Structure 1
Amino acid sequence: MPSGRVRWYDAGKGYGFIVDESGHDVFMPAASLIDATVSPRKGSRVEFSVVDGRKGPQALDVRVLGARPSLVKATRPKPDDMVAIVEDLIKLLDDAGSGLRRHHYPAAAESRKLASLLRAVADSFDVED
């Protein structure tokens, strides 16, 4: 049975691609997953069967062998450090809210800074299991 790694998979679209041992892309529809409750992450090891589909090789009976460890989870800040970050972010959001109540968006530089901070904090909280 061939094996490979998930190149990418989008559960919303219902498909993704596997890179087999020889480096070729193999189409992976959601229906090919043996365990439909598992959503494979990029880099997960998989075993599968291959058939020739209309547009090239297609995976069947995909079994997820092991997920790649989450880099985000391994490098996220400690909870004690996140407390200070979240409290500072709350203050910045409160200031922005005060301006919005007066019908004024923050200046462009402040908006960019606030948006990048929101993304960074969101990335620290968003950990795939």
Structure 2
Amino acid sequence: MPSGRIRWFDAKKGYGFIAGDDGKDVFLPQTALPQGVRNPRKGAKVEYSVIEGNRGQVAMGVTMVASAPSLVKATRPKPDDMAAIVEDLIKLLDSAGNGLRRHRYPSSADSRKLATLLRAVADDFDVQD
């Protein structure tokens, strides 16, 4: 049974490609994915059967062998460090909230800083398995 890695997959379009271990690209329709798998991660190891389609090889009966490691998960801060970051962020949000209660938005610089911090913390929490 041939094997390879998911080169890319677009769930909206319903297809993608597998980079076979033999160096050939194989078309991957969504119907070939195992039950419950809707959007395989790029780099996930797969085994599959091949049929010859109108435009080349098409994968069928795909089996997920191993998922690709999450780069986000591997580079996340430690929980103790994250707790300190969240506590500091709460203080900043509380200060901004107090200003808003007095009908004043934070300055442009403070607003940018707060928005940047919120996005960074959200990215650290948003791990896709």
Distance 1:90 1:60, change over 3 A: same
The aligned counterpart of 2:35 is 36
| Aligned-residue offset at 1:98 | 4.7
Deviations 1:3-26 (A, max 9, x none): 110122344443322111233332
| Aligned-residue offset at 1:29 | 1.9
Matches within 5 A, 1:5-84: 5-33=5-33, 35-38=34-37, 39-84=39-84
Residue correspondences, number: 127
| Aligned-residue offset at 1:97 | 4.2
Cα distance in structure 2, aligned partners of 1:114 and 1:56: 51
| Aligned-residue offset at 1:46 | 0.5
Q: Percent identity?
A: 64
Runs of 4+ in 1 over 6 A off after TM superposition: none
| Aligned-residue offset at 1:67 | 1.2
Structure 2 residue runs of 5 or longer lacking an equivalent are: none
The TM-score with structure 1 as length reference comes to 0.75
Structure 1 residue runs of 5 or longer lacking an equivalent are: none
Q: Which is higher, the Rg of structure 1 or of structure 2?
A: 2
Matches within 5 A, 1:80-91: 80-91=80-91
Letter aligned with residue 41 of structure 1: R
Deviations 1:74-96 (A, max 9, x none): 33222221111112222333344
Question: 54-63 vs 83-92, which deviates more?
Answer: 54-63
Cα distance in structure 2, aligned partners of 1:111 and 1:32: 47
